[in-house]
Amino acid sequence: MRLDHEEESRNVEDRRASTGRGGGHVDMRTMMMLWPIIRPLLRSKFGMLLIGAGVAAYLMGYNPLALIGMGGGASKPVDRVKDEQQAVFIKKVLKSTEDTWREILAQYGMRYKEPVLVLYRGYTRSGCGGAQSQMGPFYCPMDKKIYLDLGFFDELAKRHNAPGDFAQAYVLAHEIGHHIQDQQGILDKVQRAKQSWGGNSRKANALQVKVELQADCYAGVWGHYAQKKFNILEPGDIDEALQAASSIGDDTLMKQAGRTVRPDAFTHGSSAQRVAWFKRGFESGDLRMCNTFQ
């Protein structure tokens, strides 16, 4: 993916230095639970050294709470150089989406309102509640922000076999797709429909699949226009995006987890559906071709 001459977006809130890895967020409730363990340690030099070692490990990117069964498991230290390179890359992708969607929506008589991208590690707060790395990237319509732990890209490459820079760009473009839906009023309509059904999970899941597939299609539309405007694509880039879309389809994830594939439990769509809707947006470049609700 060619972004060498692309600027970085300024609509980024970088919380990586103030959040911890592996869900190791230490709030007041956690401190109260830990106090019976910490108090006796304060009475000896060895205990003080142990506490100091735990704090140092936390700052280096490890989760010391995992040693006593808290905090969601141990995590690897952060490769700061790689992390910063990914941050620069994703900021450039974000700038590309801003420049592209501004022009796309103008064709439909809409003004693009740029969202904010929040980069964090492990845990942070969002307008939609707590954000944890295990949740994956998501868009919060309450504060118009996208939340992303860059460690997700390692999981995308290793666990889901979807490496490559355009696979990462697709992930962000999908979340931007939700922001477009928010501007169009689609997310609000969907939420009201779900509430009116009184907890009917089958109908709610089916509607959510339409939301996610449309975001995939919008990601494809961005790719179409970004290629025309900036000539960003290199050989193999589209294959990377299609592999990413396929690898995180509900049926694929269920099979990987050893579960029976149940379409009524889908919330994002099958691998084939996600690939098809991304391709539809990329090949047409037309928002009107992304109406998954018909």
Per-residue pLDDT at 30: 46
Alpha carbons 154 and 229: distance in angstroms, whole number: 29
This prediction has a pTM of 0.81
Would you say 96 and 6 are in contact if contact means Cβ atoms under 8 Å apart?
yes
Closest by CA to 117, choosing from 187, 160, 169, 157, is 169
> Residues of the chain whose pLDDT is less than 50?
21-33, 60-63, 65-75
Closest by CA to 116, choosing from 11, 15, 9, 14, is 11
Per-residue pLDDT at 72: 41
Would you say 100 and 222 are in contact if contact means Cβ atoms under 8 Å apart?
yes
Alpha carbons 92 and 2: distance in angstroms, whole number: 10
Residue 139 CA, distance from chain mean position: 7
The three-class DSSP label of residue 242 is: helix
Per-residue pLDDT at 61: 46
Would you say 160 and 144 are in contact if contact means Cβ atoms under 8 Å apart?
no
Q: Is the dihedral of CA 83, 119, 160, 179 positive or negative?
A: negative
Closest by CA to 151, choosing from 126, 166, 175, 171, is 171
Per-residue pLDDT at 252: 95
Residue 230 CA, distance from chain mean position: 24
Q: What is the tens place of the pLDDT at every residue in 25-43?
A: 444 444 444 556 666 767 7
Per-residue pLDDT at 71: 44
Q: What is the tens place of the pLDDT at every residue in 253-271?
A: 999 999 999 999 999 999 9
